[in-house]
Structure formats: C-alpha cells, structure tokens
Amino acid sequence: MAKLNLIALAFAAALSGTTALAQMPAIQEQAEKGFVFGKVTDKAGNPLGGVQMFIDGIGDNNMQVTTKADGTYRARLAFGAYRALATLEKEYDGQTFKIELKPDTTDSFDAEDGAVRNFIWELTGKKPSPGMGTYGAYLYVNVSTDNMYVEDTENLTYTLTPVGPLIDGSTGQTIVRQGGEAGTEAYGKILDIPTGRYIITGTYSPPGKKAQTLRFKNNWDRKSPGYVESLEFSIKAEGNYCTTCASIDVESPMPEGE
C-alpha cells in the first residue's frame, strides 16, 4: 500500500510540473545585432503575407522588405537609428485600401542592438504616439447644409448596421453614436468605425419632444436617389478630400406638428 501511495504522489507531482510548464509565458524572441525582424498578423492572429515593411533610417538609410506567407519579415541594418512601419494593401468593395498597421511599440532602435517589431491589423482604436488619428474610418454627417439646421446636434442619434463582412472578413457589429457637440472633434462626424459597407438610419430627439426620423443622401454618389430614411453606403479608400472615409448629407427633420 505504501508503495502505491508513493507512485500516486510521484504521478501527481509530475502532473503538477506539467501544469506549471503549461502556465509559463512563452519565451520572447530576443533582438539580434544588426537585424530587425518580427511578424505581422490580423486581429485573430492569422499571419499576413505581402505586407510592405518600411525600415525608416536616418537620411537615405532606408529599406523595404515584404512579409512572407507566414507573416514574418527580416531586414539587415547598416548603422544608426531606425523605426519600423507596416502598410497593407487590401482589395475591398472594388477599391484598394492602403492600411497602416499597429506596432507593438513605436520606439526607435539602433543597428548595434537590433530589434523585434511585431505588427497587428487593427480596425479601430487610437494610433500610438507619434501617430495621429485612429485606425478606423470616419464618416462626415453634414449637418450644416441648406437641408439641415439643428443646433443641438448632441440630440442626434445615428445607427450604422453592417452589410456583409468588414474589410478583414470579420462580422461587423451595429454601431450607435450620438451627434457631436459644436466645437468638439466629433461635431459633424462619426469617428473611428471599421471599414465596411453600412446602412445608416437616425433620429433627432430633443428633450421633451417626440423623436423624429432623419433622412440621408450620399454626398459623393451622383446617382443618389435623394434623401431616404435608410441609406446604404460604403467607406471610400479615397474621398474628395480624405482617405478611408465617406460623406453623408442629413436632411433636417420637419418641425413638430407638420
């Protein structure tokens, strides 16, 4: 019996050790002198091949490499300081989008030390410093036109319902946003939304009054049938004065009682 107990204890100890090893974090890849390397993936962890990596050095000391099918890249460094940038070209809805990918760190690095820089394709979120803006698209909702006059824009509510998959092939979620107040970054815009096709609807709900349905028209579509309560549109790779954006005119709701 004592022998069986010893065997059982040994077996339990072995299981405990295996569990402990399984719970240990993966060993990080170490930087290598004279090289920068890493991996590029989408949000689900799938590797992204064909991504253009720009290794930005001092003066003309720059280089470009492309990720392999497994998402990895590797570049030899000459001398001096560098930073790494990644751009993905993606065909979607008959357009070619140039998409800036998010690095795990924006710190510069030196050839003497080398570096590991991994990137991920984020559909939304604020870009880390020194970058500006967000990874998402934005939508102009033009509330200062001949067909729209509402001072209390914070009482506007917009609903964006995805039509088909987003640019990365994932399933989008319905987005509900309030209108931005005058003087804020969100005034006249719906900011940081995943690139895709949407149906926009909306209401104007001033306090103490009955909600009214908004009507919309695609500002960049010459074939637009006019203002409708439910408008399907697509984010554009290149707009009239912006990139990864769209522009929608909003018709003023009728005064209450009409």
**Structural domain spans, the chain:** 35-120, 137-251
Pick from 143, 171, 138: nearest CA to 246: 138
CB 36 within 8 A of CB 113: no
pTM for this predicted structure: 0.82
Q: How many CA atoms lie within 13 A of 19 on its CB side?
A: 6
> Would you write out the chain's pLDDT as a tens digit for each of its 258 residues?
444 444 444 444 444 443 333 333 333 479 999 999 999 999 999 999 999 999 999 777 899 999 999 999 999 998 899 999 999 999 999 999 999 999 999 999 999 999 999 999 999 999 998 888 999 999 999 876 565 677 888 999 999 999 999 999 999 999 999 998 888 999 999 999 999 999 999 999 989 988 899 999 999 988 877 899 999 999 999 988 899 999 999 987 655 544
CB 62 within 8 A of CB 56: yes
Q: 112: burial class by Cβ within 10 Å (0-12, 13-18, 19+)?
A: exposed
CB 206 within 8 A of CB 178: no
DSSP conformation class of 196: S
The predicted pLDDT at position 239 comes to 86
Nearest-angstrom CA–CA distance, 201 and 197: 13
Nearest-angstrom CA–CA distance, 237 and 42: 19
The predicted pLDDT at position 144 comes to 61
The predicted pLDDT at position 113 comes to 94
The predicted pLDDT at position 251 comes to 85
Is the domain covering 35-120 a CATH 2.40.40.20 domain? Answer: no
| One-letter amino acid for residue 228 of the chain | V
Q: Output the 3-class SS for 28-96.
A: CCCCCCCEEEEEEECCCCCECCCCEEEEEECCCCCEEEECCCCCEEEEECCCCEEEEEEEEEEEECCEE
Nearest-angstrom CA–CA distance, 118 and 43: 13
